[in-house]
Copies of this chain bind each other. A is one copy, B any other.
Amino acid sequence: MSLPTHTPVWRIKNSPEDSVVLDSSDEATFALTEEPVPSLEDGEMLVENVFISNDPAQRGWIQKGVLPERLYTAPVREGDIMATHSIARVLALKDSTDQRFKVNDFVYCMTAGWRRYAVIKTDPSACLPVMVPQNVSPTAALGLFGVPGFTAYYGLHDVLKFKEGQSLIVSAAAGAVGNVVVQYAKKVLKAKKVIAIVGSEEKCQWIKGLGADVALNYKSPTFAQDLVNATSDFVDAYFDSVSGVILDQVIPRIKQYGRIAACGAISGYNKDVGKPTMGATWIEVVTNRLTIQGFVILDFMFPKDGSNRVATEAFPSIAGALERGEITLDGTEDIVEVPFVDVPKVWGRLFTGANTGKLVTKLA
């Protein structure tokens, strides 16, 4: 087969300030172009994106005016190719001395972005070999054995310092991080009680099937009281990916000296979806001596001391739990097969609650 000479590419057309605009209007956030594929230089390879990761954090990367010094990764500006992690197939390599990759391998890409075909460096800052246990789909490298799974692991272990017998609230529990938090806390760390907050009755059933002791639908009119009822003994920890009014409501349900892992703030990413808060419960952060710690998984995946904690800790721990059946991948990958033109639309599902588990786009 001859190699592709052109590729469709999604670039940022208008940096979003409030909501993303996923249509083809003048205000659209993304614009589709057709671009030539450059020829390969030494140390590069040509890849074809097969599975595209969809992550709420991407919303932060493209925020209008975001300052590079306030972001843990390079902002994606107007005119830039939309950034994403992806699993791609190697189509060609040029005179590379790098023996890690060969044609037809799946490779984990940080820089292929929203392109069908991309020329990328074989450098570890651009791509890595896919690392999943035997007989596990490479898509798991985007979820359970990727950023979401390791976020769950280090958020529980290092940020929340979560211990056997403790209790936990998890928001966005049906998401890519949340479902691993629920499973890992309940089955591996032997949590006394895991309370999952999700956005529908269907997700309540789903997350209970994964081990949540209680599942609460935050869209239910009785949510506030349901949360109080479910936490009559209060909880030790809160794994928060949404912030906003749900954070307000959870704060009074955390034990004295309890901990909150601030992992995300999806309720405010597209500002029209956030509800205003008066911060009326914030005083309980003071009176009950809560600690809130924001964290970025890169600090744990790539520690400054150069150690590889994922390889020595998180990966074997999660792989062992998977092998013992304490954690399941079944039903936790939401793989949507679409033509390349629909990549932004699938990504947009992250913000409408449409996905369950890890949302992956499979390019048709």
A residues lining the B interface (CB < 8 Å): 60, 69-72, 234, 243-244, 247, 252, 262-265, 267-269, 271, 274, 276-280, 282-296, 299
Contact = CB atoms under 8 A, between A and B. Distances in A.
A294 B286 contact: yes
A265 B283 contact: yes
A262 B286 contact: yes
B292 A285 contact: yes
B60 A279 contact: no
Given A70-B252, A252-B70, A291-B291, A286 B279 contact: no
Given A70-B252, A285-B262, A280 B291 contact: no
A289 B296 contact: yes
A280 B287 contact: no
A291 B252 CA distance: 19
A-B pairs with lowest CB-CB distance, top 8 = A276-B276, A285-B294, A292-B292, A265-B283, A286-B294, A243-B282, A265-B282, A262-B285
Interface centre among A252, A269, A287, A291 (most CB of B within 10 A): A287
Contact of A277 (B60, B69, B279, B290): B279
A55 B270 CA distance: 39
A269 B284 CA distance: 11
Contacts of A282: 243-244, 247, 262, 265, 268
